[in-house]
Chains A and B, each alone.
Chain A
Amino acid sequence: MNLIVAIFLPILAAFFIPLLYKRVKSLHTGWFVLLVPLSLFLFYTTFVKQVANGETFTSTFHWVESLQLSFISYIDGLSLLFSLLITGIGSLVVLYSIFYLDKSKEQLHNFYVYLLLFMSAMLGVVQSDHVITLYLFWELTSISSFLLIAYWFNRDASRFGALKSMMITVFGGLLMLGGFVLLSMMGDTYSIRELIAQAPQLAEHEYFTWALILVLFGAFTKSAQGPFYIWLPDAMEAPTPVSAYLHSATMVKAGIYLVARFTPIFASSELWIWLVTATGLFTLVWCSFFALKQTDLKGILAFSTVSQLGLIMALLGAGSMSYHVDGAAETVFKYAAFAAIFHLINHATFKGSLFMIVGIVDHETGTRDIKKLGGLMSIMPISFTVAMIGSLSMAGVPLFNGFLSKEMFLTAMLSITEFGLFSFDTFGVLFPIIAWIASVFTFAYSLYFVTHTFMGTYKPDALPKKAHEAPIGMLISPIVLAALVIVIFFIPNIVATYFIKPAVLAIQPFLYSDVSQIDVHISAWHGFTTELWMTLGIFVVGGLAVMTLKKWQHFYNRVPAGFNMLYDAAINVSDTGMNRLSRLYMTGSNQTYLLYMFASFVVLVIGTLFTQGGFTMSWAHTAPIRFYDLVLIAVLVSGTLIALVTKSRLTSIIGLGVVGYSVAMFFVIFNAPDLALTQLVIETISVALFLLCFYHLPKNSRKENRMRFQVPRFIISVAVGATVTLVAIAAQSQKMMTSISEYYKETVYSLAGGGNIVNVILVDYRGFDTLFEIAVLAIAGLGIFAMIKLRIGDKGKEKKQLENK
């Protein structure tokens, strides 16, 4: 199967989902959807072996060749790992959603169409080698995420969360596009691989820093890093399968992917290392701290996700340091990128299972409020076991995969102090300390999450539903993920060989030329090292923090909302400010708008004509004035005057008709039968239309006196007339190029197979124009239809309301 087809397979499948949903009522639509990620997952697993040997695969589809736009699917270690995550977790999530979403109550076709749309978009993001198509897929993930968060769109919080996530991620995405454009200008190519190949030259370029910052904006907004984390907690209004899939396992990792993918280009920069590492660490500690404040189970997981993404981000930043150390492959920095990828896999497994458990708790008890929950251990034993495995892995406890990557994280952070460049030797000591504090909070919220839900006293009265264990179908997916959590702990080096090392090769292509050179070996026991003592310290302090949580949790109430307040203020200001600004000139009166249009028309055209020296007057090309012309002009002018001075509407319509018909007659005497014909028919129809419209105007205004004479309007109307006349004279006076009509005359039969130039222009030479014109015409027609019908509907409603009273 072609790689490009594989990317688009979910979107293609999405076309059939609404049909299946409508036709097959007996079977949950999710079963059909499940086939898509499952088959893609199996398809991508066939690449694992070859990619593990360092092979790569590409497939290209030229989209718009003249713009060098093409879909290039590039499979290397990094993109294959992400593709497997997207389709693997995707399969589990779809399976889970079959039991989570009721087929009779929910709008399943919407849900699955959005989900499949997202799947294609995400595969496109991680496989695109072309920056512009990467950006397209990137925004498509934002849009599908928006649609999925707002899936229950009748809830205010859903719409708010959806809009917030869209605002922030699209804001970052647009900046990122700017970065991509700069990069492609610097490297004169759109291909990421070609950009990486010329990384040293790019680093010298004056735009380099700008491109770096702009690309990081995209990554940070998408992965909810730094101040941009605020959209993720609000995105938790989405159905839980979506949170598990988009907002924990895949989409939020697009930023991680981006940083990893562009590391070879930007890693030479000091700014990059500082920004990525510091932002990651800040997010890690900040959000792990605030996770303990949350009382909504999904809120805890949202903050935890953001903080774990920060951890991966910090590791990628530290991994970039290896570019600045001689013989880097031998130093400890090689751990960082490796640990980042390892933790990415681990996070997907344990966080995915935890989200699904929260969904189960919510589904079976009716609440996610941790204050109402407790003592579910004996009622939901399987869920409890899975939650325990996930939480302990997140906390970094041995026997679970999180422990291994957490240890590597500590190793990497400790090694930063040894990095002698960019003033890391002075500030570097802060990094392991911050990492340790964050890990304490991570340990604390992991325990907080699981103990307050499943242990303690059972409060059946507080729960909206009678709690019971979930159906087995719902438990399969979390159990699979929890099993992986344990399995990975015991076979980390097999995972490393097949998935991590090929991905590391993609992130650090300058260090290693082959997968076999990456000699990192994961082991659970390193002896009594600093890391071990740090871990023990985390367990002790973190445990204490959870036990005393009740005593100090109220402290959170004193912390201001911070970044959220900024966002709300910004949205508020732009909302009301823009409203006020537009109210200044949008009066709602058509006459005012016409004045704006005509006045600016006069200023722009006259201004351009005279400042550019375009005005000349010559009578060399004009035809002589004949007797007929004079008669027609007299008729035309008198028609205009009648329309202006008459008091009766009917007379003014006829006056206008006279103007139109005399113009048509001009076309006749100037040998333009097509135009004359069209003008005549249009005039006839518009007179009929005017009659119809005026018939429906309110009766009392039918004898309305004509409008007062207004000097400004008079001046503008005279100016418009003068402008048009001047432009016509100027256009007629200078023939700078030979007329195109000669070309038409020569080719109308040979190229277009026609005889009537006017019509051949319409349907062939300039068919594009006609196509858009009829589209505009259709839109205008539908607009008029909608406006009139809508008004009738409103009236009907008012009548009904009156009758009810």
Chain B
Amino acid sequence: MKTNDVILQFTAKLVFFIIFLFSVHIFMAGHYTPGGGFVGGLLAASAIVLLILAFDLKTVQAGFPINYRIMTAIGLVLALGTAAFPMFDGKPFFTHYFDYFDLPFFGKTSLHTAMLFDAGVFLVVVGVTMTIIQSIGEDE
């Protein structure tokens, strides 16, 4: 049975960007306002899941030719690397560095190594969620 999903597909395309941008926003804002890498990652994954529901797995895979297992690995390495880096500086494991910087375009911005760690969390969450959904979805 072939259903006509024109409305769903059109909306999904639009909404995908909104959700994805929201996930990036929530990830960035996480340190001061509600949000963070975990929720951000889940939101990003849910955006992709929405596309999968509207279209089908193959189309979405062609659109995002990403190996999510490698994404998971990169995330883990990023998180572990951020945590381990201070050891080379003679500081305990998991020391974070932060300060305010005057960046062009953004102005005075707070930069924090916790964000790198959180980016690792983000990648792992997206990677794992998509790995699970993809491998179950592919299973015929």
Contact = CB atoms under 8 A, between A and B. Distances in A.
Interface of A: 673-674, 677-678, 681-682, 684-685, 688-689, 692-693, 696, 752-756, 758-760, 762-764, 767-768, 770-771, 774-775, 777-778, 780-782, 784-785, 788-789, 791-792
A756 B28 CA distance: 12
Given A767-B94, A784-B132, A784-B135, A685 B42 contact: yes
Nearest to B118: A763
A657 to B, nearest CB: 13
B121 interface: yes
Interface string B109-126: 010101001101100110
Contact of B36 (A674, A774, A775, A782): A674
A694 to B, nearest CB: 10
B9 interface: no
Given A692-B133, A767-B83, A774 B34 contact: no
| Interface-central residue, B35, B132, B133, by most chain A CB under 10 Å | B132
Interface of B: 26, 30-39, 42-43, 45-46, 49, 53, 69, 72-73, 75-76, 79-80, 83, 94, 96, 98-99, 110, 112, 114, 117-118, 120-121, 124-125, 127-129, 131-133, 135-139
A414 B89 CA distance: 63
A676 B32 CA distance: 17
Contacts of B99: 753
A778 B41 CA distance: 13
B129 A685 contact: yes
A782 B94 contact: no
A755 B120 contact: no
Contact of B33 (A755, A762, A778, A789): A755
A778 B124 contact: yes
| Interface-central residue, B72, B127, B128, by most chain A CB under 10 Å | B128
| Interface-central residue, A777, A784, A785, by most chain B CB under 10 Å | A777
Chain B at the A interface: mostly helix, strand, loop or mixed?
Answer: helix
30 contacts: A674-B34, A674-B35, A677-B26, A677-B35, A678-B39, A681-B46, A684-B49, A685-B45, A692-B136, A692-B137, A696-B136, A753-B31, A753-B96, A753-B98, A753-B99, A754-B114, A756-B31, A756-B36, A758-B36, A760-B31, A763-B37, A777-B125, A778-B124, A780-B128, A781-B127, A781-B131, A784-B131, A784-B136, A788-B139, A791-B139
A774 B136 contact: no
Contacts of A775: 76
Contacts of A753: 31, 96, 98-99, 110, 112, 114
A760 to B, nearest CB: 7
Contacts of B131: 781-782, 784-785
A774 B129 contact: no
Given A756-B35, A763-B36, A688 B53 contact: yes
Chain A at the B interface: mostly helix, strand, loop or mixed?
Answer: helix
| The 8 residue pairs across chains A and B that have the minimum distance between CB atoms | A755-B32, A781-B128, A753-B98, A759-B36, A673-B34, A681-B42, A763-B114, A774-B124
A678 to B, nearest CB: 5
A712 to B, nearest CB: 32
Contacts of A789: 135
B139 to A, nearest CB: 5
B97 to A, nearest CB: 9
Contact of B83 (A771, A780, A785): A771
Contacts of B45: 685
A498 to B, nearest CB: 42
Given A688-B133, A755-B32, A781-B127, A774 B114 contact: no
A678 B42 CA distance: 8
Given A758-B36, A763-B96, 10 more contacts: A684-B49, A752-B98, A759-B35, A762-B36, A763-B114, A771-B80, A782-B69, A782-B131, A784-B132, A792-B139
A774 B78 CA distance: 12
A789 B26 CA distance: 34
B46 A774 contact: no
B11 to A, nearest CB: 16
B46 A685 contact: yes
B118 to A, nearest CB: 5
A782 B130 CA distance: 11
Contacts of A792: 139
A356 to B, nearest CB: 45
A754 B30 CA distance: 9
Contacts of A788: 135-136, 138-139
A631 to B, nearest CB: 24
